[in-house]
Structure 1
Amino acid sequence: MRLLAIALPDSDRKGLVKFLFWSGCRPGEAFALTWGDISDDCCKIRINKSRNLYSVLKSTKNGVKRTFPTVPGSKLQKLLLEIKPSCNLNTLVFTDESGNPLSSAVLQKVWNGHTSKINGREYVSLGVLKELVKKGSLPFYLKPYSTRHTFATWAITQGVSPDKVARWIGDKVETVLRYYCHPQVVEADCPDF
């Protein structure tokens, strides 16, 4: 059995997952993000569109446009500066190996791993989640959308007000408090991939 990275090179797979954990962004919003949506210093991220399962560009889930601030020197800013190419501002931030837009189906393979057979040989990609669980970085099972929940909970436990978290993730305070705060999340640190 041979290992094969599915759809994204290892650094891009981890970059996407880090971005989701560190921004609270919905996966579809990350798939639609272009370098024109990010300030030159990577300290402001405009989130104003999304890509659905079929890679069709649309508005955000609830139509809320927002600007997500990053702190100079933060992990998120450093990540964006590291992966930022010198390119057209319309270039997508996260793509597959061919430069095509990502989809939820690709994210599921990146997240959970994938096995395929090509010419009688079996190829396996562990998936980012399984790698983190294997390393002991994550003590529990998470779905890709849980990165949003985790971000909101970490932010609130670090003293960020629920109204600010709601503004950052494009939701109402009531929604943040009802759906995105899970005390067991604070028992684990943000994984350092």
Structure 2
Amino acid sequence: MGLKLTKRGKTYYIRGTVAGHSVYETTGTRDKDLADAIRIRKERRLEEQNARGLKAVATFDEAAESYADTGAPTRFILGVRKTDGVMSGLAVRFKGMKLADIKQADLDKAARELYPSASRETLIRQVYTPFVAIWNHAARKEMCDARVWERPRKPKGTNVVRLATTTRSGTAPVEYDYAARFVAAMSPDPAMLMTFLFFTGLRPIEAFALRAEDVNVDKQWFVVRSSKTGQPRGVPLHSFLCGWLPALVERGLSAEDGALFRTPRGEPYGIVQDGGGGLKTAIKGARKRSGITDISPYTARHTVSTGLVVAGVHPHIKDQILGHAADDMSRHYTNVPQAPLIEAINKLPFGAFAKLPWVDAPADWFGKLAEGTGKRTDLEDRRKA
């Protein structure tokens, strides 16, 4: 039958069947010649796929689009540059390139071209990690073969002296007593979210998206439906969290949006790709009030990881908690609380956090502000009462 052009309004659509594949999709253009070129390319692609298989024709941008459909973060995959409004990211850099043709050297070259002066850590976070997440997703969809990709390595040796360097906030762990001092300088609502991060190791964007219905306090377990890997996972709840989370769960279940965490204004946190996003204002204020400037939302993830290692937790258990492991067994038991993970997370110390003023009755502190926040001094007044 082949593919034909049809017109709906002013836009051309492709319709028909090729090699058993039924197609009905927009070309996204009003130009008939361009639409016909798109039709021809689509038809040839389906014929080639039928003859050689999906792995022979699947492209990186197709894999990236499929990955994005899972709800996974896409900031470094496809975004608009603030400077000139031009689309950028991995999907643009590898657009049209077949997965089967991409080599390690192509990935390394893309990293250098996208971020020519970036540090090793930045390249890993903004290029290699999202690239590997897309590739693993594509492999699960049988769009390509599973592969091991190398990330930039740290330089060997200890005789290299660096002068006048600065460490980016959030790239190193801190002591829990130190973290508690910082969180104590935050308004209660963002403080609850930051405390949650310090006892789960979640990525900030995962916490922003949490819904009350996915938290089971009684079983010390919750489910992250959308993660950086594009796969859901179950996460253990520290016993300390179980003491005050029920109030947040109850609030979330009674709200239409179901959000577990809310701002002091009572609004759910926006889903901001990567980094602190919706917590930036709260972090900035806490730094000013506490004098502590080396803590950000991602500090919590590094702190949990290091705390589990210090506590002697097996690397496999640690990786499952942090979402590094994505094997089929882990995904199959997403909703099933796992005792070894709960036992491991409970090894994190919480003494200093237990002294935060809102812990005993969190619902009484919803919407309150830290002292020094505008003209309101809710926490200060409450302490004096």
**TM-score bin, normalised by smaller chain:** 0.5 to 0.7
Q: Give unmatched runs, 5+ long, in structure 2.
A: 1-185, 327-348, 357-385
Q: What's the CA shift for 1:15?
A: 0.3
Q: 1 CA distance for matches of 2:288 and 2:307?
A: 22
Q: Which amino acid aligns with 2:283?
A: W
| Structural RMSD (CA) | 2.7
> The residue matched to 1:67 in structure 2 has which SS?
strand
Structure 2 residue aligned with 1:93: 260
Could you tell me whether the CA contact under 8 Å between 1:42 and 1:77 is conserved in 2?
no
Q: 2 CA distance for matches of 1:42 and 1:35?
A: 14
Structure 1 residue aligned with 2:44: none
Do residues 24 (structure 1) and 24 (structure 2) align? no
Q: Which amino acid aligns with 2:250?
A: P
Structure 2 residue aligned with 1:147: 300
Q: Which moved more, 1:86-95 or 1:33-42?
A: 86-95
Choose which of 302, 310, 313 in structure 2 pairs with 1:160.
313
- Indicate the structure (1 or 2) with the bigger Cα radius of gyration: 2
Structure 2 residue aligned with 1:170: 323
Choose which of 66, 81, 86 in structure 1 pairs with 2:246.
81
Could you tell me whether the CA contact under 8 Å between 1:27 and 1:145 is conserved in 2?
yes
Structure 1 residue aligned with 2:233: 66
Structure 1 residue aligned with 2:35: none
Choose which of 20, 34, 37 in structure 1 pairs with 2:211.
34
Choose which of 89, 102, 110 in structure 1 pairs with 2:282.
110
Structure 1 residue aligned with 2:55: none
> The residue matched to 1:46 in structure 2 has which SS?
strand
Q: What's the CA shift for 1:64?
A: 3.1
Q: Which amino acid aligns with 2:279?
A: L
TM-score normalised by the chain length of structure 1: 0.62
Do residues 48 (structure 1) and 218 (structure 2) align? no
Q: What's the CA shift for 1:17?
A: 0.5
Q: What's the CA shift for 1:98?
A: 3.7
Deviation string 1:140-193 (CA, Å, 9 cap, x unpaired) is 7122212101111111111211111100111149xxxxxxxxxxxxxxx76524
Could you tell me whether the CA contact under 8 Å between 1:95 and 1:101 is conserved in 2?
yes
User: Are the structure 2 counterparts of residues 130 and 20 from structure 1 closer, same or farther at C-alpha, using a change threshold of 3 Å?
Assistant: farther
> The residue matched to 2:300 in structure 1 has which SS?
helix
> The residue matched to 1:160 in structure 2 has which SS?
coil
Alignment identity in percent?
26
Q: What's the CA shift for 1:79?
A: 3.0
Q: Which amino acid aligns with 2:200?
A: S
Greater RCO, CA 8 A, separation 6+: 1
TM-score normalised by the chain length of structure 2: 0.33
Q: 2 CA distance for matches of 1:170 and 1:21?
A: 15
Q: Which amino acid aligns with 2:299?
A: S
User: Are the structure 2 counterparts of residues 148 and 66 from structure 1 closer, same or farther at C-alpha, using a change threshold of 3 Å?
Assistant: same
Could you tell me whether the CA contact under 8 Å between 2:215 and 2:223 is conserved in 1?
yes
Could you tell me whether the CA contact under 8 Å between 1:29 and 1:47 is conserved in 2?
yes
Q: What's the CA shift for 1:39?
A: 1.2
Could you tell me whether the CA contact under 8 Å between 1:70 and 1:77 is conserved in 2?
yes
